Amino acid sequence: MDDIASELLMTKGSLYYYFKDKEDLVFYCTKQLLGESIQQAEEIERLDVNSHEKLHKAIVVHMEYLLTERSGFEIGSKPRSFFSGEKLDHVVKLRHDYASCMDRMIEEGMASGEFEQGDVKVKRNLLLGAMNYSISWYSLSGPLDITETAHKSAEHLMKMFVK
C-alpha cells in the first residue's frame, strides 16, 4: 500500500479511505482490467468484418492491453492466490465472460467456414494461454515494441485457426 500511495502521490491513509485493504484495491484493479477487456472484445464482436479480421483484431487488442497493463494482469492471472469468497467468484465470472466472447468469435469463424473445425474450448485456451504467457517473455527493451509484438503474435496465432 505504501508503494501504491507514493506512486499516486497520496498518503497511505488516503488510500484506506477508498479501499479497506490491499485485497480490496487489487480486486478493484482486476475488475477494471477485466471489465475493459470484455468491453473491447464485445466491440470487436459487433464489427461488420469477417471472422478472421475479428479474431485477429481481438488478439492484437488483447496483447496490446495485456502488455501495457502488465502488472495488473500478472496479479489477475492467478485469482485464487489473491481472492476468496465473493471476490474470487466475481473475478472468475468476469474471466468466463471474456472467454465466452472469444468462444463466440471462434464459433462464428468455424460456422462461416473460415476456421478449421475443432474443440472451441481447447482452441480458446491455447490462444489465451499463448497470449497471456507473453507477459513472461516480452521486454520493453527488446527489438519490437508492444504494437509490433501484438501484430506479429496475431499473425502466428491465427495460423491455429485458418484452413
Is residue 120, in this structure, part of any structural domain at all? yes
The CATH number linked to 26 is 1.10.357.10
CB distance 59 to 153 below 8 Å: yes
Is residue 11, in this structure, part of any structural domain at all? no
What proportion of the chain, given as a percentage, has pLDDT over 70? 89
Is residue 40, in this structure, part of any structural domain at all? yes
Q: Is the dihedral of CA 92, 94, 95, 101 positive or negative?
A: positive
Mean pLDDT of 63-81: 86
Q: Is the dihedral of CA 88, 91, 97, 100 positive or negative?
A: negative
Is residue 48, in this structure, part of any structural domain at all? yes
Is residue 82, in this structure, part of any structural domain at all? yes
CA 85 – CA 89 distance, rounded (Å): 6
**Grid coordinates in use for 58?**
481481438
- Total tally of structural domains belonging to the chain: 1
What is the rounded radius of gyration, in angstroms, for the C-alpha atoms of the chain?
Answer: 18
> Which residues lie across from 115 on neighbouring strands?
162
CB distance 12 to 5 below 8 Å: yes
> Which residues lie across from 162 on neighbouring strands?
115
Task: Work out the mean pLDDT of the chain and round it to a whole number.
Answer: 90
Question: What is the pTM assigned to this prediction?
Answer: 0.88
Question: pLDDT tens, 122-151?
Answer: 999 999 999 999 999 999 999 999 999 999
CB distance 81 to 149 below 8 Å: no
Residue ranges making up the domain that contains 137: 22-158
What does the pLDDT read at residue 5? 55
Mean pLDDT of 31-47: 97
**Grid coordinates in use for 112?**
462461416
Is residue 31, in this structure, part of any structural domain at all? yes
CB distance 61 to 1 below 8 Å: no
Residue type, 44: I
Is residue 17, in this structure, part of any structural domain at all? no
Is residue 3, in this structure, part of any structural domain at all? no
